[in-house]
Amino acid sequence: GENVEQHPSTLSVQEGDSAVIKCTYSDSASNYFPWYKQELGKGPQLIIDIRSNVGEKKDQRIAVTLNKTAKHFSLHITETQPEDSAVYFCAAYNNNDMRFGAGTRLTVKP
């Protein structure tokens, strides 16, 4: 089955800096890669996603890149703000099977 690895497990940045979180997956058949943000006491919320036929997608300060050959994808947050502080999860999906990474705790220091 699919195996998703996520790095780093914790990330601390200064407000205004960029943050990058990376994930790798094992199943080349995976075709959908969402990213979720989870705030304390809440369920994960979808923030951006990308399909396997696209290399990059951007939504305001958030972007995701996908390298199918290398089987890795990354989340990029620019101009970070304190409210970006949360746990971020990547996931890889194929045929009703969604597998998540272990999460990255992002702290943005004001």
Binding footprint of other proteins on the chain (CB under 8 A): 4, 6, 31-32, 34, 36, 41-46, 49, 51, 89, 91, 93, 96-103
SS (H, E, C) the chain: CCCEEEECCEEEEECCCCEEEEEEECCCCCCEEEEEEECCCCCCEEEEEEECCCCEEEECCEEEEEECCCCEEEEEECCCCHHHCEEEEEEEEECCEEEECCCEEEEEEC
Q: How far is the CB of 5 from other proteins (least distance, A)?
A: 10
Q: Which is nearer to other proteins, 13 or 100 (CB)?
A: 100
Q: Which is nearer to other proteins, 17 or 97 (CB)?
A: 97
Q: How far is the CB of 72 from other proteins (least distance, A)?
A: 17
